[in-house]
Structure 1
């Protein structure tokens, strides 16, 4: 409200017509709504405070760590709390290639609408473990292009399921996901050791998979339903 009053005062001082003031106020209001469209990090985290484990055992976060991460069921979603390693796989770019990423692979498990691999420094995506006896993500209602909310340091970023990883390790996301959450995106030495929550909504799909706006709008809608369930 303070913003709108200040906006109107400035507009009158500049000699703008009432219609222009109304238009400016509408624009400001629409912007506010867009920013506040989805649930807060705290609201989402409150829904995943306890774990109903569905994985057959637990995952490592890295090769050298112990098995500490369970996959949990939360009704409309599944979730896990882990670290974030950086996935730079997909199409070659100046940020993601064999020189910047020692483990670079020029493909992703799921492809863009044009049939090409995802672009890791453009599309916020997460990596799910490949199907194994520990957990089959498909049996939990997840699939490529599925909608996920990733939470770190009180920030929420809506992403897609874009790639699969090792069968025994969990906690990985694309270069663009790290950037969106304020995490060091360097595939060689970036990421974070803990504090990341991954919430993936069952039977969901973002279309097209590479669209940030579609990932956000789909994720916000599903997250709102999840929080209110």
Structure 2
């Protein structure tokens, strides 16, 4: 979970140059632009590869254009920033528009570990079916703020494994709720989520400062949580209901 601002993260990265190995080169996008003809099926535990979303980014953004706040207050993008982001809601979903910080926590791997991320924590709020932490570099998941007076996600049909549509530019990536973060900060997703959307996934120098919409579908749950193909299937179905308002 990220608690530092992007500016602080950049400063930290500069100080760590003598001891931090070079960042792993960016990997090819693993989620196609919505609307492009594709073939194939996603692999369990990895971002969806070669699968066309049934609901476009434009349709989802149009449905999420108006905000009826369900949070009592507003969130910051990063610690120390201004609190300007409400959590909005409809009958079918809750959503927010924010930045994307990179969560590299969970099961260590070649891209997410103590060497690549000095803030690394070898745990996630929710675990795989075998009891191990989630893998941020393999599984698309989203971080929600820990329950507080501002907002408690558990009161809105959201929990570990809830299905999320993450929209960035003209792309949609389906993910699950997999971790919790600081009570006053919002806008964070796993390494795999960022990579699939073409956002630089480096835990310190990656992410994007704005333009990401997170739509969490109420009363959905993927089990086992690491089954990404199931998340895509459930996400497409929930996204259609959300867009149609039915």
Q: TM-score range by the shorter chain?
A: 0.7 to 0.9
Partners of 1:141 and 1:79 lie apart in 2 by: 13
Which structure has more relative contact order (CA 8 Å, sep 6+)? It is 2
Residue 179 of structure 1: aligned partner: 195
TM-score normalised according to structure 1 size: 0.84
Cα RMSD over matched residues? Answer: 1.7
**Superposed displacement of residue 153, structure 1:** 1.3
Residue 46 of structure 1: aligned partner: 62
Q: 1:136 to 1:103 in 2, by over 3 A?
A: same
5 Å matches for 1:43-82?
43-82=59-98
Partners of 1:126 and 1:191 lie apart in 2 by: 13
Task: Answer 1 or 2: which has greater helix percent.
Answer: 1
Matched, 1:209 2:225: yes
**Superposed displacement of residue 92, structure 1:** 0.8
Contact 1:79 1:198 in 2 (8 A): yes
Which is higher, the Rg of structure 1 or of structure 2? Answer: 1
TM-score normalised according to structure 2 size: 0.79
Aligned residues: 201
The match for 2:143 among 127, 132, 141 is 127
**Superposed displacement of residue 215, structure 1:** 1.1
After superposition, what is the alpha-carbon deviation per residue over 1:143-196, rounded to whole angstroms, capped at 9, x for unaligned?
000000000011000000000000000000000000010000000111000000
Residue 195 of structure 1: aligned partner: 211
Greater than 6 Å deviation, 4+ residue runs: none
Instruction: Could you tell me which runs of 5 or more consecutive residues in structure 1 were left unpaired when the two chains were aligned.
Output: 1-28
Q: 1:61 to 1:35 in 2, by over 3 A?
A: same
